[in-house]
């Protein structure tokens, strides 16, 4: 059964909204009073320390998400790095932890609403909001995130007001002793409030739905992290400075901690209307958490179902692009939590398991890098490898121990449950291992080749990076037209000769490399196209030879005869040679070619191309290509008779080919354009769009 894909509907602001909205919730509106019990006026330092301690896990998840933007977040990363057993443990644990956090937020709505409506039934209110947000998520990620963005904008506006007014009302005496806390109390309190940053990585769960994930995921996460650090440190400083840490720790019901600290501080600053304003902010924050929590948590059963760890039902996606049954299950789980359990106690337990996931994510980066899988190709690479990652593995478990016995037992219980589910349900259904087997291979043991294929497919979906010279490689490519029935060995010989001239390499060495790769099955053959490829240490840039063979090539070497469908003859062969020291770029160029030839219209355009220029245009990306014919009486006539060096083009665009009658003119600065010339212009979409409007001709 073909896996259904989620729609890519989330941009940078959507990523930022999810991460920020889930982060600025209980950590700010509920936990400061509880945290003040342990650390007093050093409350801002506890939040700052917690943020610093999760930084290794944060950058590790950002790296993993840019390399493997798939639904399921931590589950997917752990499964593909350390195998399905660890993935099952992480999947169940994170699903439950995120659902608990969402349930806790829903109960938080009731805690603040009871200040306005003392008779309200908080359990029913929480359950009603859970169902409402479930419906919003079923409508699809785009609608869910639009709602999320509106809530986040409103929330940030209210928090700016709170901190701005609060800074003017600080009593310096309330901040005395801030920089002299007991180290043990500071660490244990940091462990308590670390759940405040839990939402930063939830966006990894919906990475499959993010446009341009290599840019938007890490940038959105880090912008949200900066926002959260600023709000938590400044905001809690305002709380302590205005009403004092003692008031936060003992001013609640029956002398306990204040559970509505923001409303308490706002009331002290400006009176009841300020309190009511912050009640509105708290409700917005908790609604944001609940909505994004359902969105992120539901992607875990979806991903686990795709991998047969859970029943196939959970991978069903409806017309709006939402995993409907995974959402049903998540909302049902949340309803149980809000109606049966006291979520305020469980929030700390959810944070403890999330700390475990931070640590395992750092370990996953170590495994993926040490596996040396070339198709593991994250655009963002976490810095200071491996020392930051080793610290990231050890620090979370230290924090969990400092948090007490119950969080440790809860974490252990979830790990045992996940392991039992894998052994008794999933083991017989899963035929897959992780990247750790590639590490074992380096030690002389087994490996899993399926992961490499999966990562290559992900590279194809992600596409090229801005710096990849794909268009330049194609426009510089040499072209060979061969008659049908030509033997593959003869084509290799001619292509190798062309490449040897361009690369200053031995034609025999290149030819032997192409043939060997084809014999051992390393040459992809699909949709009537073969892609022999090599990497060489002696060259500085990639080179390509395009071979068109109407009627089909005689594949007369090795197992390649078994690789392609006899009913679909190989009528195109692309020979690619790239520098040895840039495997990622080599694979991305291959993936881009493979993605283009997979399109239904490719072979028709390839075979019917009347000249070499049109042949190359069949391969180039549509959004990076503009063709322009110079004719009198049209806007393009202004270019006739001008040298290329005198033509001002938008930044990031280039005239790559000039077709003049039956010939292709290599464009140089002194090349003078003539009437009838057909120009192929490549570059950034924005620049090409400007040229298209300028000349009002794109054909």
CA distance 424 to 413: 16
* DSSP strands (E only) in 165-213: none
- CATH T-level assignment (fold) for domain 12-428: Amino acid/polyamine transporter I (1.20.1740)
When pLDDT is cut at 50, 70 and 90, the band that residue 226 belongs to is: very high
Q: What is the CATH number of domain 622-695?
A: 3.30.70.1450
Answer whether residue 97 shows pLDDT above 50. Answer: yes
Question: Longest C-alpha distance within the chain, in Å?
Answer: 91
pLDDT at 1: 45
pLDDT at 197: 83
Q: Is the peptide bond before 550 cis (omega within 30 degrees of 0)?
A: no
Mean pLDDT of the 48-65 span: 90
- Determine contact, residues 100/337, Cβ cutoff 8 Å: yes
pLDDT at 561: 43
When pLDDT is cut at 50, 70 and 90, the band that residue 390 belongs to is: very high
Highest mean pLDDT among 2-16, 96-110, 175-189, 568-582: 568-582
pLDDT at 699: 43
Higher pLDDT, 494 or 592: 494
- Chain centre to alpha carbon of residue 521: 31
Mean pLDDT of the 604-623 span: 83
pLDDT at 632: 85
Q: What is the pLDDT of residues 403-437, one digit of tens each?
A: 777 777 877 888 888 888 888 888 887 765 555 44
Please name every residue paired with 481 in a beta bridge, in sequence order, or none if there are none. 548
Provide the Cα torsion 89, 90, 95, 99; round to 10°: 100
Q: What is the pLDDT of residues 372-383, one digit of tens each?
A: 777 788 888 999
> CA-based angle 422:425:431, to the nearest 5?
70
> CA-based angle 459:461:464, to the nearest 5?
65
pLDDT at 347: 59
Number of Cβ within 10 Å of residue 193's Cβ equals: 28
pTM for this structure?
0.70
Least confident of 169-173, 516-520, 600-604: 516-520
Helix, strand, coil percentages for the chain (3-state, nearest 5): 65, 10, 25
Q: What is the pLDDT of residues 137-181, one digit of tens each?
A: 787 655 556 666 777 788 888 888 999 999 988 988 888 888 877
When the pLDDT of each residue in the chain is averaged and rounded to a whole number, the result is 81
When pLDDT is cut at 50, 70 and 90, the band that residue 387 belongs to is: very high
pLDDT at 342: 62
> Domain 463-617 has what CATH class?
alpha beta
CA distance 240 to 128: 34
DSSP 8-state secondary structure symbol assigned to residue 212: S
CA distance 374 to 362: 19
User: Got the DSSP string for 437-471?
Assistant: HHHHHHTTS---HHHHHHHHHHHHHH---TT--HH
- Determine contact, residues 644/667, Cβ cutoff 8 Å: yes
Mean pLDDT of the 447-474 span: 69
Answer whether residue 633 shows pLDDT above 70. Answer: yes
pLDDT at 141: 55
Least confident of 379-388, 391-400, 460-469: 460-469
Answer whether residue 272 shows pLDDT above 80. Answer: yes
Q: What is the pLDDT of residues 23-48, one digit of tens each?
A: 777 788 888 888 888 888 899 999 99
Q: Is the peptide bond before 386 cis (omega within 30 degrees of 0)?
A: yes
Answer whether residue 234 shows pLDDT above 90. Answer: yes
When pLDDT is cut at 50, 70 and 90, the band that residue 389 belongs to is: very high
pLDDT at 444: 47
Mean pLDDT of the 496-517 span: 86
pLDDT at 698: 43
Percent of the chain topping pLDDT 90? 9
Higher pLDDT, 125 or 221: 221
Q: What are the residue ranges spanned by the domains of the chain?
A: 12-428, 463-617, 622-695
pLDDT at 437: 47
> CA-based angle 25:45:345, to the nearest 5?
45
Q: Which H or E run includes 111? A: helix 84-116
């Amino acid at each position: 059964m073909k896996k259904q894909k989620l729609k890519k509907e989330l941009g940078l602001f959507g990523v930022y909204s999810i991460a920020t909205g889930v982060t600025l919730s209980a950590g700010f509106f509920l936990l400061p009073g509880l945290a003040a019990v342990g650390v007093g006026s050093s409350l801002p330092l506890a939040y700052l320390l917690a943020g610093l301690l999760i930084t290794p896990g944060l950058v590790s998840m950002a790296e993993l998400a840019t390399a493997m933007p798939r639904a399921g977040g931590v589950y997917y990363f752990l499964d593909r790095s350390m195998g399905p057993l660890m993935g099952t443990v992480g999947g169940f644990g994170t699903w439950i932890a995120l659902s608990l956090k969402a349930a806790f937020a829903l109960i938080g709505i009731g805690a603040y609403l009871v200040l306005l409506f003392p008779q309200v039934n908080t359990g029913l209110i929480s359950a009603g909001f859970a169902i409402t947000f479930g419906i919003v998520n079923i409508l699809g990620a785009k609608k869910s995130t639009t709602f999320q963005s509106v809530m986040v904008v409103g929330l940030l506006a209210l928090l700016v007001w709170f901190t701005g007014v609060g800074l003017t009302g600080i009593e310096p005496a309330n901040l005395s002793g801030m920089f002299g806390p007991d180290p043990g109390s500071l660490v244990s309190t940091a462990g308590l409030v670390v759940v405040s940053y839990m939402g930063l990585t939830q966006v990894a769960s919906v990475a499959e739905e993010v446009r341009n994930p290599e840019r938007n995921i890490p940038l959105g996460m880090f912008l949200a992290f900066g926002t959260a650090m600023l709000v938590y440190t400044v905001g809690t400083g305002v709380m302590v400075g205005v009403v004092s840490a003692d008031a936060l720790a003992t001013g609640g019901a029956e002398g306990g901690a204040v559970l509505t600290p923001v409303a308490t501080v706002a009331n002290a600053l400006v009176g009841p209307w300020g309190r009511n304003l912050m009640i509105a902010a708290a409700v917005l924050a908790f609604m944001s958490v609940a909505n994004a929590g359902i969105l992120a948590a539901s992607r875990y059963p979806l991903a686990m179902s795709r991998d047969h760890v859970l029943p196939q039902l959970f991978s069903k996606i409806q017309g709006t692009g939402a995993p409907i049954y995974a959402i049903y299950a998540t909302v049902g789980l949340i309803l149980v939590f809000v109606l049966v359990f006291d979520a305020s106690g469980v929030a700390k337990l959810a944070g403890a398991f999330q700390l475990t996931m931070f640590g395992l994510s750092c370990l996953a980066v170590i495994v993926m890098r040490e596996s040396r899988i070339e198709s593991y190709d994250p655009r963002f690479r976490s810095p200071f490898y491996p020392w930051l990652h080793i610290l990231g593995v050890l620090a979370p478990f230290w924090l969990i121990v400092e948090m007490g016995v119950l969080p440790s037992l809860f974490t252990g219980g979830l790990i045992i449950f996940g392991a039992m589910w894998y052994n008794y349900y999933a083991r017989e259904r899963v035929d897959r291992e992780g990247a750790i087997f590639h590490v074992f291979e380096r030690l002389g043991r087994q490996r899993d080749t399926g992961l490499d294929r999966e990562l290559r497919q992900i590279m194809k979906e992600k596409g090229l990076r801005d710096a990849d010279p794909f268009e330049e490689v194609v426009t510089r490519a040499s072209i060979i037209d061969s008659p049908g029935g030509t033997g593959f060995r003869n084509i290799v010989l001619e292509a190798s000769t062309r490449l040897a001239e361009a690369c200053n390499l031995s034609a025999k060495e290149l030819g032997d490399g192409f043939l060997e790769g084809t014999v051992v099955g390393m040459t992809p053959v699909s949709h009537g196209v073969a892609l022999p490829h090599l990497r060489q240490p002696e060259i500085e840039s990639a080179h390509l030879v395009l071979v068109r063979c109407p009627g089909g090539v005689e594949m007369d070497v090795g197992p390649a005869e078994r690789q392609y469908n006899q009913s679909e003859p190989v009528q195109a062969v692309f020979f690619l040679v790239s520098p040895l020291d840039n495997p990622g770029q080599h694979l991305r160029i291959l993936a881009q070619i493979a993605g283009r030839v997979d399109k239904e219209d490719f072979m028709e355009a390839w075979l019917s191309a009347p000249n070499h220029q049109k042949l190359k245009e069949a391969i180039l990306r549509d959004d990076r290509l503009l063709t322009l014919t110079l004719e009198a009486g049209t806007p393009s006539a202004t270019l006739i008779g001008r040298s290329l060096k005198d033509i001002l083009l938008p930044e990031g665009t280039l005239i790559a080919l000039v077709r003049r009658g039956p010939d292709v003119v290599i464009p140089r600065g002194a090349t003078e354009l003539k009437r009838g010339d057909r120009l192929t212009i490549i570059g950034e979409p924005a620049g090409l769009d400007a040229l298209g409007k300028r000349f009002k001709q794109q054909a």
